[in-house]
C-alpha cells in the first residue's frame, strides 16, 4: 500500500507544472511596463498547467509550461464581449503572450518579457503597491 501511495504521489507531481508551486493561484495586475494597471486585470495559474483570468471586458484562458524562471504561455482564447476598454485589454493580452520569465518577490509576481517588458501582479486585489512602477 505504501508503494502505491508513493507511486501515485510521484505521478501527480510529474503532472503538476514546476511553476505551479511558486505561482499557482490568483494574481491581480498592479503594474504594466512601469505604469500602474489601467483597469482591473487578473490571471489564475492552476496546478494542471492552465491559466484563466479577467480582463476589463472579457474572460480569457490558455495554458502555461516552464521551470522557474522560464515560463511559456500558450496562445490565449477569450470571450468576445465589447466595452470601452478593449484597447487596454489588447495591450494586456499582447504583453502576456510576450512573457518568457517569472519571478516571485514576496506576494508579488513579475512576468518578464523581451526588451524588459514587465507585468507585475499581487496576490491580494487590495494590494496596489507596485515594485516596478515609477511613481
> Given this structure, which CATH class describes domain 17-122?
mainly beta
Helix, coil or strand: residue 109? strand
- Rounded CA gap, 59 and 84, in Å? 15
| The length of the chain, given as a count of residues | 135
Percent of the chain at pLDDT > 90 equals 61
Query: Of 91, 89, 133, 88, which is closest to residue 108 (Cα–Cα)?
Result: 133
| pLDDT confidence of residue 68 | 86
Domain spans in the chain, listed from the N-terminal domain onward? 17-122
Residue 20 pLDDT class (50, 70, 90 cuts): low
Three-class SS state of 102: strand
Contact 92, 57 (CB under 8 A): no
Q: What percent of the chain has pLDDT over 70?
A: 84
Q: Is 80 exceeded by the pLDDT of residue 32?
A: yes
Which one is predicted more confidently, 15 or 92? 92
Average pLDDT of span 54-58: 95
Instruction: Tell me the C-alpha distance between 133 and 21, whole Å.
Output: 26
Amino acid at each position: 500500500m505504501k508503494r502505491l501511495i508513493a507511486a501515485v504521489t510521484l505521478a501527480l507531481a510529474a503532472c503538476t507544472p514546476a511553476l505551479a508551486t511558486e505561482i499557482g493561484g490568483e494574481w491581480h495586475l498592479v503594474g504594466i511596463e512601469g505604469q500602474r494597471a489601467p483597469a482591473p486585470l487578473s490571471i489564475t495559474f492552476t496546478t494542471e498547467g492552465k491559466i484563466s483570468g479577467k480582463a476589463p471586458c472579457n474572460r480569457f484562458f490558455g495554458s502555461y509550461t516552464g521551470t522557474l524562471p522560464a515560463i511559456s504561455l500558450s496562445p490565449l482564447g477569450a470571450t468576445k464581449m465589447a466595452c470601452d476598454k478593449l484597447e487596454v485589454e489588447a495591450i494586456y493580452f499582447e504583453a502576456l503572450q510576450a512573457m518568457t520569465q517569472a519571478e516571485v518577490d514576496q506576494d508579488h509576481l513579475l512576468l518578464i518579457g523581451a526588451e524588459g517588458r514587465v507585468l507585475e501582479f499581487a496576490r491580494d486585489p487590495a494590494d496596489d503597491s507596485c515594485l516596478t512602477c515609477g511613481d
